[in-house]
Amino acid sequence: MTTVLGCIADDFTGATDLAGLLARSGVKVSLRIGVPDAPPTDAAAFEVIALKCRTSPVADAVAECRAALAWLQAAGAKRFFWKYCSTFDSTPDGNIGPVAEALMADLGVAQTIYCPAFPENGRSIFMGHLFVGQQPLAESPMKDHPLTPMRDSSLMRLLAPQVTGQTGLVDRLTVAQGADAIRAALGQLALDGVGHVVVDAVANADLDLIASACRDMPLLTGGSAVAAPLPALYMADGMLTGDTAKSAPPTAGGGGVVLSGSCSAMTRAQVAAYAKVAPSYRLDPLTLFHTGSTAAEDWLRDQDLAAAPLVYATAEPDAVRAAQSELGAGAAGALVERALASLALVARDCGARRFVVAGGETSGAVTQALGVSRLDVGAEIAPGVPWTYCHSAGHMIALALKSGNFGAEGFFAQALSKLDLT
């Protein structure tokens, strides 16, 4: 089937987040890990390419995303979505703006929108400022993110240094007037030469209006939630045909493991909750630096995987800063990623077939270690977090790749209980 919507995500959990919301429609969703080597021969109506470029050097991120765009174009897509985190995770250099601008250039379009709002998960935009729950972004726990600390809540101020074109805003008062008002505001901004437009959204109804107003734009950018209304709009427009049935999810038998590298506030709460009911082992970056991950691997081999043990590097901000001060931010993160990737292989080889993974960087490392190239998307566990299915070393496995901030405190146990295993 020809691809209707081609999506590019800047990390693996963001890709599963988007794929899960699109899959709510019943339309087939295919999630690719990295840009496929071969030309498309079995493309789905919705194709999502998961990259690991959120904190890559700008030139590398742009090149990778352009390659993903070219593959999606070859699959037949005419509409595209650039997906980044609902907390706008980025450095002053990018990579949100530079990638968007490169995709705009390749597609020959002069304007796109930026809407990372995800009201179901407490992300809203008002007068161009991003809120996490009731807190401005810069006052939320994101201010202490180890890789992309967010110290400004204004999306326009965050975006402006990342792009060469002008930035503008369609505010909540305009959005509330409906899709026609949004289109008119975007049209006026285009006449004024404004190519990068932040759009306010505080509720799902706003996202419905924004998606309706922007459905014909070749390129949209944002968090996953603004893309969620697109399947129904494309059906109404006759862009989707009969390929709407979900296939039955496969069965992934065997034990499980929970691997957590995220240090977000929510993941810290989730780790604390799950450690009370399951065996757990904490990875320390300094210990990994001096002695490697052998002790953790030996511990995991001794565990009953039916109990789905937890291995985590999740820590409080002060502990993270201490490790980064000793080792360097990049080196500390890389040590943890390599260790969790090795532990995923140990778990698989010991019989684990269920993997719950917390954190975008961790999810990327784990899926790459498991040799995953494509995921089929199943039912959501929580908003933005579905179970996905793939093969690794000849085994059918189930993966739940969770963004650090997503899910409630009991998410790990909830995810495992929701998956029907034999």
First to last CA, the chain: 33
CB atoms within 10 A of CB 138: 17
Q: What HEC string does 225-245 produce?
A: HHHCCHHHHHHHCCCCCCCCC
**Enclosing H/E stretch for 379:** strand 374-382
Both tokens assigned to 139: 């006052």
pLDDT, averaged across the chain: 93
Q: What is the pLDDT of residue 246?
A: 52
Range in 186-200, 264-278, 353-367, 376-390 with the lowest mean pLDDT: 376-390
Residues of the chain with CATH 3.40.50.10840: 5-236
pLDDT exceeds cutoff 50 at 155: yes
Half-sphere exposure of residue 303: CA atoms within 13 angstroms, side-chain side = 28
Cis amide prior to 95 (ω within 30 degrees): yes
pLDDT exceeds cutoff 90 at 290: yes
pLDDT, tens digit, 9 for 90 and up, residues 383-400:
889 899 999 999 999 999
Report the percentage of the chain scoring pLDDT > 90.
78
Q: What is the mean pLDDT of residues 34-38?
A: 92
Q: What is the pLDDT of residue 421?
A: 42
Both tokens assigned to 38: 């071969």
pLDDT exceeds cutoff 90 at 164: yes
| CA 89 from centre of chain | 11
Listed in sequence order, the residues at least 6 apart from 271 whose beta carbon sits closer than 8 Å to its beta carbon are: 260, 280, 310, 312, 314, 358, 412
Q: What is the pLDDT of residue 383?
A: 86
pLDDT exceeds cutoff 50 at 280: yes
Range in 117-131, 201-215, 238-252, 326-340 with the lowest mean pLDDT: 238-252
Residues of the chain with CATH 3.40.980.20: 255-418
Q: What is the mean pLDDT of residues 216-231?
A: 97
Instruction: Find, among 201, 118, 110, the residue nearest to 163 by Cα.
Output: 110
Q: Please identify, in words, the CATH class of the domain defined by 255-418.
A: alpha beta
Q: What is the mean pLDDT of residues 78-102?
A: 96
Q: What is the mean pLDDT of residues 147-172?
A: 96
Q: Which CATH superfamily is domain 5-236 in?
A: Putative sugar-binding, N-terminal domain (3.40.50.10840)
